[in-house]
Structure 1
Amino acid sequence: MIQVLIVEDDPMVAMLNQQFIEQIDQVKIVGNVKNVEQAMTILKEQPVDLMLLDVYLPGMTGIEFLAEMRKEKIETSVILITAADDVLTVKKAINYGVVDYLIKPFSFERFKLAYERFIDLRKITGKEKVTNQSMLDKFFLSANEREQEEQLDLPKGLSRLTLRKVAKSIEQIKQPFSTEDLANQILISRISTKKYLLFLVEIGYLTEEIEYREIGRPVTLYQSNPSFTASIERYQ
């Protein structure tokens, strides 16, 4: 559940922001306040994942509040929502690391894009200790740049359709599996299955280890690598 704090002194805008947030799943509004004093109290009392922050607020501007948050080492992500469209304000907001900058009035579709940007950032800076280029590109590249990065060529002999089938089957397997296990599930030859498994190991999507058994040859077992689940996306 994503904890969201709204900081907006205009009641109509505050209500609109809340209505937008309530249209998104797995989100909880922990406060809808009118000034930075109330906001700071909530930030110090409970975890807040995302703050929707206005610039023009009584007592202290949103930009000044961002500076105060950084001094207090509060790392809550911020989407700035404001009528301020001057370059200096935008530059300061960027320097303080806001996730996005929305100029009033804006549509729900644009708001949702800002929220998705926050989710992308949260994924690449969350609990995992490592990331990968595919995950980073989702956040840092524009839509056009991401499109150009998509659909990377597969090694000769592999097809996207079969790769999607292999990946879907792997997602359903909850324990380490062998080439034979997967081949039996997707109903293609072990030789073909092995080619896809070797490719997925190469891009980091799978890890492999050898299991030595009392009888028979050692068996190579494969397992999904949680840190690199996005590495397959540009090949499908």
Structure 2
Amino acid sequence: METLIEVLIVEDDLRIADIHRRFTEKIEGFTVIGTATTGEQAKEWIETIQPQLILLDVYLPDIKGIELVTYIREHYQFIDIIMITAASEVEVIQHALRGGVSDYIVKPLTFERFKRSLEQYRNKFHQLSKNKKLTAEEVDLLWHGTKSEDSQGTLSPKGIDQLTLDKILNTLSKVDAEGITAEQLSKVSGVSRSTARRYLEFLSLENKVQADLIYGNVGRPERRYSIKK
């Protein structure tokens, strides 16, 4: 069993911090070890626990979150940071990038966006924990979420995430000969209907799934998808 990733939430609004905690607890592989509402509290938690991941807001009552990024990088280089904030100023984003922030989520956030960020982080965390050396393809997947042009011919289009794609393919692999609609795929896989439809269209273009129109007794025909044999 893989070790749980310990998460510290740094957010001065307790209501929002509780949302982040509940979101985190819904995602496999993570455990929330505490919540800090100020920069000083965050430093105390970091010194005592040294979590693997910090969910960090920019606006704190005593210091700015970007100052905490600098502090963490100076003293705890192996702690990772995902920023969740309403701040969209260029200088803040530049500071986050230069500070090695793993992801930058602009509020208001959705669970789907939050989940995608943590699942991508979890994938990177465990891959780096298990391997001493990575292939060029694995490095590209870690950095960009896509394979290099040399390894797959073309880069994955914008909006196609490898983890979500794998989930969709895994769901489709269990579908019987009748196939599945985008709406049904949405319910089974836990993604939105528009996301399910986008991934199905992508897989159709990649010639990995086939789409058939099924005419029922009542109403419009349904487009059903199944893995190509």
**Which bracket does the TM-score occupy, shorter chain normalised?**
0.5 to 0.7
> Could you tell me which residue of structure 1 aligns to residue 76 of structure 2?
73
**CA 1:2–1:135 in 2, change beyond 3 Å: closer, same or farther?**
same
> Could you tell me which residue of structure 2 aligns to residue 32 of structure 1?
35
> Could you tell me which residue of structure 1 aligns to residue 19 of structure 2?
16
Specify every segment of 5 or more residues in structure 1 that has no aligned partner in the other structure, as ranges: 153-236
- Kept in 2, the 8 Å contact 1:63–1:92? The answer is yes
> Could you tell me which residue of structure 2 aligns to residue 88 of structure 1?
91
**CA 1:93–1:151 in 2, change beyond 3 Å: closer, same or farther?**
same
Specify every segment of 5 or more residues in structure 2 that has no aligned partner in the other structure, as ranges: 155-229
- Kept in 2, the 8 Å contact 1:4–1:52? The answer is yes
- Kept in 2, the 8 Å contact 1:78–1:99? The answer is yes
- Superposed, 1:117-196 pairs within 5 Å as 117-142=120-145, 149-150=151-152
The alpha-carbon deviation at position 127 of structure 1 amounts to: 4.6
For the pair 1:48 / 2:51, whether they are aligned, the reply is: yes
> Could you tell me which residue of structure 2 aligns to residue 211 of structure 1?
none
**Coordinate RMSD, CA, aligned:** 2.2
> Could you tell me which residue of structure 2 aligns to residue 99 of structure 1?
102
d(CA) in 1 for partners of 2:151, 2:12:
42
What do residues 107-157 of structure 1 show as CA deviations (whole Å, max 9, x unaligned)?
1111111112212331343253211122212222255x67995489xxxxx
> Could you tell me which residue of structure 1 aligns to residue 173 of structure 2?
none
> Could you tell me which residue of structure 2 aligns to residue 64 of structure 1?
67
d(CA) in 1 for partners of 2:96, 2:43:
18
Larger Rg, first or second structure (1 or 2): 1
- Kept in 1, the 8 Å contact 2:8–2:51? The answer is yes
> Could you tell me which residue of structure 1 aligns to residue 112 of structure 2?
109
d(CA) in 2 for partners of 1:146, 1:10:
41
The alpha-carbon deviation at position 99 of structure 1 amounts to: 0.5
So what's the TM-score if we normalise by structure 1? 0.59
The alpha-carbon deviation at position 69 of structure 1 amounts to: 1.2
Q: Which runs of 4+ in 1 moved over 3 A?
A: 145-152
- Kept in 2, the 8 Å contact 1:51–1:76? The answer is yes
**CA 1:148–1:87 in 2, change beyond 3 Å: closer, same or farther?**
farther
d(CA) in 2 for partners of 1:129, 1:142:
20
> Could you tell me which residue of structure 2 aligns to residue 183 of structure 1?
none
Counterpart amino acid of residue 116 in structure 2: L
Higher relative CO (CA 8 A, sep ≥ 6), structure 1 or 2?
1
Q: Secondary structure at the match of 1:125?
A: helix
d(CA) in 2 for partners of 1:149, 1:130:
18
